[in-house]
């Protein structure tokens, strides 16, 4: 009996060893690209705090100098195995709008994190038309009045105000358009939107090349703290707890390297949990991100948005803003299908998609909550009841204009707008989208700590 027991234990050891061997990453030496923004934090922290190493990975985290176009090109070419990416980029590439390569959004890196900053001159002019810069949230009504007055005064010589955004298929492009259009501003006729890489926004504002911009941190606070302008509205104000960045890979790479993909996801989810565990961790993260090889900005500027505050106005104190960056709490890491579908509605609304597509089929091919669920369970990250939810109806999940996005009424949502440049007819789009999905609303929770949480009462 004793020998059988020994044999049994030996077989168990061999079984465990075999399981570990089977789960080993197919490719351990990896390159992950990122842009110098504070929401690259989950990737950087996974490297710096040893989470990648814990999961058997040797990761070279590479700062991309060519903007989001450079990220897209290098993921497609295979120079980067995974990347920090705008939430809409993998959808656009899969649809052939930007890259023409099937991509995955493996997880959400964060919620929120952006703002719209204006030059001092434009703010002075907006104040003449009713801007109350201390009221939250600031709407675009005063900008609309300024544009109307400017157009009336200049007539045929009208020179539109120019605003920077980071990429045509970017969260920032849709945020600034959504905010403008709520007051009847046509971003394409009444303003000029131009692509400027995030780290170059401040210099372009200072040089007078643009009148304002929508970008992620620290490039709003950098301008505000240098007295070059003020940030009037954040993307949290536009849509509370909106999805911002994702971890992106090509479909072919992730399919070929499933264990590597799981290990990368597990590492980053653990980093996201660490980031929301405490404000002290956020301060440590700010110090790490401030290094030259990462964001390369002063720690106090990064602290201003990463540690529960945000300075909207030049020369004024920072204001409490605990949800400006959310990395793990409130399911911030989960790639909801409904989030991806909202971005598809904006691509259609603004004329970037010129044919009727099945939105459900598209988003389900790109966003991968199924792969996420496997990784999340292995590192103790809780899952919502469904990848489909309605946005705009719950506390801490409202749109600035009070609208509600139900994926089952996505077609109506696109065309029920004041300003619309859709190139697809509503009838054609409705014909391609006859499906229905079951939505379930997740409760607001902060299981991982106080950082990024609306109120300590939600910490469980």
Res. 310: pLDDT tops 90: yes
User: What is the structure's pLDDT at 460?
Assistant: 76
Residues with Cβ < 8 Å from 265, sequence gap 6 or more?
106, 107, 247, 371, 372, 375
* pLDDT tens by residue, 49-86: 999 999 999 999 999 999 999 999 999 999 999 999 99
The predicted model scores a pTM of: 0.94
Q: Which residue has the tokens 């980067």?
A: 80
Question: pLDDT tens-digit profile of 222-243?
Answer: 999 999 999 999 999 999 999 9
Tell me which H or E stretch contains 22: helix 2-22
- Would the pLDDT of 22 be above 60? no
DSSP calls for 406-436: -GGGHHHHHHSSSS---SS-HHHHHHH----
Predicted confidence (pLDDT) per residue in 88-140, tens digit: 999 999 999 988 899 999 999 999 999 999 999 999 999 999 999 999 999 99
Q: For residues 196 and 401, what is the distance between their CA atoms, to the nearest angstrom?
A: 27
Sheet with 114-119, edge to edge strand ranges: 191-195, 161-165, 212-216, 114-119, 229-234
Q: Which domain holds residue 362?
A: 29-112+243-304+329-393+422-458
- pLDDT at residue 98 in the model: 82
CB 210 within 8 A of CB 161: no
CA gap 58, 32 in Å, rounded = 11
State the pLDDT at residue 5: 44
DSSP class of residue 32? E
Residue 13 pLDDT greater than 70, yes or no: no
Least confident stretch, 12-21, 123-132, 151-160, 439-448: 12-21
Residue 229 domain-assigned (yes or no): no
The 8-class DSSP code of residue 446 comes to B
pLDDT digits (tens, 9 = 90+) for 332-366: 999 999 999 999 999 999 999 999 999 999 999 99
Domain count of the fold of the chain:
1
From 346, 356, 365, 353, select the one nearest 417 (Cα to Cα): 346
The verdict on residue 427 lying in a domain is: yes
pLDDT at 11: 45
Tell me if 368 is assigned to some domain. yes
Q: Which of 8-12, 191-195, 385-389, 453-457 has the lowest mean pLDDT?
A: 8-12
169 is a domain residue:
no
Which pLDDT score, from 0 to 100, does residue 23 have?
81
| 431: CATH | 3.40.190.10
**pLDDT attached to residue 17:** 42
Q: Is residue 407 a part of any domain in this protein?
A: no
Is 415 a domain residue? no
| Model confidence at 166: pLDDT above 70 | yes
Q: Vertex 296, ends 333 and 54: CA angle to 5°? A: 45
At residue 18, the pLDDT reads 38
Structural element, H or E, at residue 134? none
pLDDT at 4: 41
- Is residue 202 within 8 A of residue 219, CB to CB? The reply is yes
3-class state of residue 59 by DSSP: strand
Residue 174 lies in a domain: no
- Look up residue 245 and give its two tokens: 């960045």
Mean predicted lDDT score pLDDT of the chain: 95
SS3 367: strand
Other Cβ atoms less than 10 A from the Cβ of 130: the count is: 11
Q: Element (H or E) spanning 27, and its range?
A: none
In a domain, 11, yes or no: no
Q: How far is CA 13 from CA 17, 18, 22, 378, 422, in A?
A: 6, 8, 14, 21, 61
List, for residues 357-395, the tens digit of each pLDDT value. Answer: 999 999 999 999 999 999 999 999 999 999 999 999 999
Give the whole-number percent of the chain exceeding pLDDT 70: 95
Q: Please, are residues 374 and 262 in contact by the beta-carbon 8 Å criterion?
A: yes
> How many CB atoms lie under 10 A from the CB of residue 367?
30
* β pairing state of 245-250 and 82-86: antiparallel
């Amino acid at each position: 009996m004793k020998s059988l027991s020994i044999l049994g234990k030996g077989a168990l050891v061999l079984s465990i060893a075999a399981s570990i061997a089977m789960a080993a990453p197919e490719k351990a030496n990896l390159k992950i690209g990122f842009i110098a923004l504070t929401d690259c934090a989950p990737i950087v922290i996974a490297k710096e705090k040893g989470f990648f190493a814990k999961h058997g990975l040797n990761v070279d985290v590479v700062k991309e100098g060519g903007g989001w176009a450079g990220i897209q090109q290098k993921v497609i070419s295979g120079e980067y195995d995974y990347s920090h990416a705008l939430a809409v980029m993998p959808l656009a590439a899969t649809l052939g709008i930007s890259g023409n390569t099937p991509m995955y959004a493996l997880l959400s890196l964060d919620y929120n994190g952006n703002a719209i900053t204006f030059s001092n001159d434009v703010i002075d002019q907006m104040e003449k038309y009713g801007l109350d810069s201390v009221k939250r949230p600031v709407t675009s009504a005063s900008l609309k009045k300024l544009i109307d007055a400017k157009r009336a005064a200049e007539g045929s010589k009208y020179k539109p105000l120019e605003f920077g955004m980071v990429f045509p298929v970017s969260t920032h492009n849709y945020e600034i358009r959504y905010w403008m259009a709520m007051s009847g501003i046509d971003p394409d006729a009444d303003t000029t939107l131009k692509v400027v890489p995030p780290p170059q926004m401040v210099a372009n504002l200072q040089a007078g090349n643009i009148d304002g911009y929508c970008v992620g941190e620290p490039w709003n606070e950098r301008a505000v703290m240098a007295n070059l302008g003020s940030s009037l509205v954040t993307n949290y104000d536009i849509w509370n707890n909106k999805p911002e960045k994702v971890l992106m890979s090509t479909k072919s790479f992730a399919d070929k390297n499933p264990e590597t993909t799981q290990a990368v996801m597990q590492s980053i989810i653990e980093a996201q949990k660490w980031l929301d565990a405490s404000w002290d961790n956020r301060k440590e993260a700010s110090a790490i991100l401030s290094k030259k090889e990462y964001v390369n900005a002063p720690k106090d500027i990064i602290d201003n948005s990463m540690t529960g505050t945000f300075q909207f106005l030049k020369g004024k104190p920072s204001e409490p803003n605990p949800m400006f960056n959310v990395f793990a709490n409130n399911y911030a890491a989960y790639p909801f299908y409904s989030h991806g579908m909202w971005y598809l509605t904006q691509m259609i609304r603004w004329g970037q998609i010129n044919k009727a597509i099945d939105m459900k089929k598209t988003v389900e091919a790109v966003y991968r909550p199924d792969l996420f669920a496997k990784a999340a369970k292995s590192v103790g990250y809780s899952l919502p009841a469904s990848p489909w939810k309605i946005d705009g109806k719950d506390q801490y999940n409202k749109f600035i204009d009070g609208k509600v996005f139900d994926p089952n009424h996505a077609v109506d949502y696109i065309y029920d707008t004041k300003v619309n440049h859709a190139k697809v007819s509503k009838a054609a789009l409705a014909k391609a989208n006859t499906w229905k999905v079951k939505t379930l609303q997740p409760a607001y929770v902060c299981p991982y700590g106080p950082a990024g949480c609306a109120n300590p009462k939600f910490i469980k």
